[in-house]
Amino acid sequence: MVNGRSAWQAWLIIAAGGVAALQVGKLPPALPWLQAQLGLSLLDSGFLLSVVQGSGMLLGLMVGQWIDGYGLRRSMWTGLMLLSAGSFMGGMSDRISEHTVWVLLASRVVEGLGFLLTVLPGPGLLRRHVESDRLAPFLGYWGTYMPLGMSLALLVGPFWLQAAPWSSWWFFFAFLSALMAMALRRGVAPDPEPDGAPLDLSSIFARLRQTLGASGPWLIAAMFCVYSAQWLSLVGFLPSIYSAAGVQGAMLAVLTALAAAVNMGGNMVSGRLLQRGWSERSTLLIGYGAMALGSFLAFSDLTLGVPWVRYSGILLFSCVGGLIPGTLFSLSVRLAPAPNLVASTVGWMQQLSATGQFLGPPLAAALAMAVGGWQFTWVFTATCCILGVVFASLVSRHPLVRQ
């Protein structure tokens, strides 16, 4: 069992991940306002949505290496403070420069680094504070940080933005991230003293070779890449898609927030299923299959004129697809080449996940612009799912994975 103190620290760690995800999720509900006020094109919006993942795409593995020596809790605190600074910079963008869009882009880069430093230590911190027999469910709960943050931002954002300037939305998240950093510093036990010499360049490269020389980190990172590329593309553009279709106000907020929130159910269920003996291959195949079917129902011309079927497809895509990240976080702890390389393994996962999130929205937007609508979005998502199924079949043959 998890004692009260350990459980409290575990939930604080998960909450910190949710606050980081809020920084990703704050943009989608604001896009209709930014498009109207700043003249953003659909492709511009796609890059603004995805640029927050630039740091993860370029630095995930290296930052994971650095975190191992810097300290897990210290890294998470630093990341939250960077998120606060980046969000404040974004809120000030229309006051400090006439090139608001470029300042916004720069602020999203800062937020991207903060996001990386906040979420990479999560699984390792949970492993430190939760007993091994309860770790799988908590890693499943950790997998909810992204849909939790996205859904809350999508729910509250439209109401906030109707009542206040968009910059106040950025200032609010600057304050919230700083508050979470203080709570983490007070509520989570400090990092233990390093048990060895500081990492030098040669040892860093040795750890890099050890991480990238194993097949497990590559496979789970590739599966995260094709999952995150399609999930952020669909959920990130939902407010714009529904707004263009005439859905506004409370209905827009509820529909888009629910689409993100149901993803948490899949994440939490994944941990329970794995604890009860389900194989990782089963949960991954079910997740990718549901995403392919759901996106087809949501965007195919065959369901045109049947909005409840289309929205059911979105819910299927997000909810059952949530089995994938929860399963992958569980695999990351077991498939790390060594116990002290969990952050490095998660860093490589985050690097390829960020690559997917960076490329996915612009690709989906470019496809929609090329065909004059979103009707072929399912082709993009189905391609990602097919790749995911191939990688899941390969990882199921790993000696450390149950058959």
Q: Tens of pLDDT along 59-111? A: 777 777 777 778 889 999 999 999 999 999 988 887 776 777 788 888 888 99
Closest CA to 188 of 80, 300, 107, 308: 80
Residue 396 or residue 106, greater confidence? 106
Distance CA 27, CA 46 (A): 11
Query: Is the alpha carbon torsion for 374, 375, 379, 384 positive or negative?
Result: positive
Res. 403: pLDDT tops 70? no
pLDDT score recorded for residue 174: 96
pLDDT of residue 351: 85
Is the pLDDT at 2 greater than 60? The verdict is no
pLDDT at 220: 93
Question: How far does the chain reach from its first CA to its final CA, in angstroms?
Answer: 27
Assess contact for 144 and 268: CB atoms under 8 A: yes
Provide the 10 A C-beta neighbour count for residue 167.
16
- Give strand ranges (E) for 171-303: none
Q: Residue 316 has what pLDDT?
A: 95
Alpha helices per DSSP H over 26-53: 27-38, 42-50
Residue tagged 């948490």 (tokens)? 264
Residue type, 62: M
CA 276 remoteness from chain centre: 26
131-190 per-position pLDDT tens digit: 777 787 888 788 788 888 888 888 888 889 888 888 899 999 999 999 999 999 998 888
Measured distance CA(55)–CA(183) in Å, rounded: 25
Q: Evaluate whether 49 touches 32 at the Cβ level (below 8 Å).
A: no
Q: In the predicted model, what is the mean pLDDT of the chain?
A: 85
What ranges do the domains of the chain cover?
4-187+201-395
Q: Give burial (CB, 10 Å; 0-12/13-18/19+) of 96.
A: exposed
Instruction: Give the pLDDT confidence score for residue 78 in this predicted structure.
Output: 95
For the whole model, what pTM was predicted? 0.75
| Paired tokens of 42 | 């659909």
| Banded pLDDT at 399 (limits 50, 70, 90) | low
Confidence of residue 1 (pLDDT cuts 50, 70, 90): very low
Please tell me which residue, 402 or 274, carries the higher pLDDT value: 274
CB-CB contact of 301 with 244 (8 Å): no
Provide the pLDDT for residue 88.
95
- CATH tag for 4-187+201-395 (out of 2.120.10.30, 3.10.580.10, 1.20.1250.20, 3.40.50.300): 1.20.1250.20
* pLDDT-based confidence at residue 400 (cuts at 50, 70, 90): low
Quick: pLDDT tens for 278-336.
Answer: 888 899 999 999 999 999 998 888 888 888 888 999 999 999 999 998 899 888 878 88
Cβ contacts of residue 182 below 8 Å, gap of 6+? none
Q: 77 phi and psi, to 5 degrees?
A: -65, -45
Provide the pLDDT for residue 196: 52
pLDDT tens-digit profile of 70-80?
888 999 999 99
d(CA 286, CA 319): 11
In angstroms, what CA-CA distances link 380 with 14, 234, 344, 363? 31, 10, 30, 8
For the stretch 201-258, pLDDT in tens is 677 778 788 888 888 899 999 999 999 999 988 887 887 777 777 777 778 788 888 8
Q: How far apart (Å, rounded) are the C-alpha atoms in residues 355 and 360?
A: 8
Which residues are CB-neighbours of 193 under 8 A, at least 6 positions away?
none
Using alpha carbons, list the distances in angstroms from residue 133 to 23, 188, 218: 32, 21, 26
Q: Is the pLDDT of residue 15 over 60?
A: yes
